[in-house]
Amino acid sequence: MYVPFAFSVDDVDAAVALARTTGFGHLAVHGPDGLSSTPVPFVVDDAGAAVRMHLARPNDVWRAAPCRALLVVPVSDAYVSPSWYPSKAEHGKVVPTWNYEVVHAHGDLVVHDDAAWVRGQIDDLTALHETSFDAPWHVDDAPDEFIESLQRGIVGVELRALRWEAKRKLSQNRPTDDRAGALAGMERAGLRGSATVVGAMRDNP
């Protein structure tokens, strides 16, 4: 990924934390028929050394393993209009752009087609997203035979030996007034994704 210095996230822990805020990405592999990608929720292990996922058995992406693979995690993105920059009125030398946060995880993809591993991944993924609810749903809430029948239709995959890359393009390359103008413009416009990007810009001045 091309990452100019102003937009780089050099801390691996910060990159992992950014990926965890989303928990959903696009797993890309190179198989017999060329490049292939699939959207997938995931769990990052405690050390950030592996990402665990599961795919529908008919999804051919898992059949490319063992192989090198890339998980792309789009965290946030929003359009930025040059009209929001004060510098537009000063000299007019401005153009549209896009602000965004993204994480790439490169690693070795392996398959786990065994019931215990897959059940553990399902339990962890469910707990991750249910824990904030007042009455969280647990996998055990469903009948065992129902879960077992569904589980036979999926395959576990794991991305190991990870190299993490992260990029935060949040107008850091613009003058202070232009960055403030972009923030105010996104808040007023209320375009798709702008609220999340505004939050990221405020958290990363």
Query: What span, in angstroms and rounded, lies between the C-alpha atoms of 92 and 114?
Result: 61
CB 164 within 8 A of CB 12: yes
Q: What is the pLDDT of residues 149-166, one digit of tens each?
A: 999 999 999 999 889 999
Hey, what CATH class is 5-78+98-172 in?
A: mainly beta
Domain range annotation of the chain: 5-78+98-172
Q: How far apart are CA 53 and CA 56, in angstroms?
A: 10
> What is this structure's pTM?
0.92
- pLDDT tens for each residue of 76-126: 999 999 999 999 988 989 999 999 999 999 999 999 999 999 999 999 999
CA distance 108 to 126: 24
8 Å CB contact between 70 and 42: no
Express each pLDDT in 27-64 by its tens digit. 999 988 899 999 999 999 988 899 999 999 999 999 99
What three-state secondary structure class fits 154? strand
**Residue 134 bridge partners (DSSP):** none
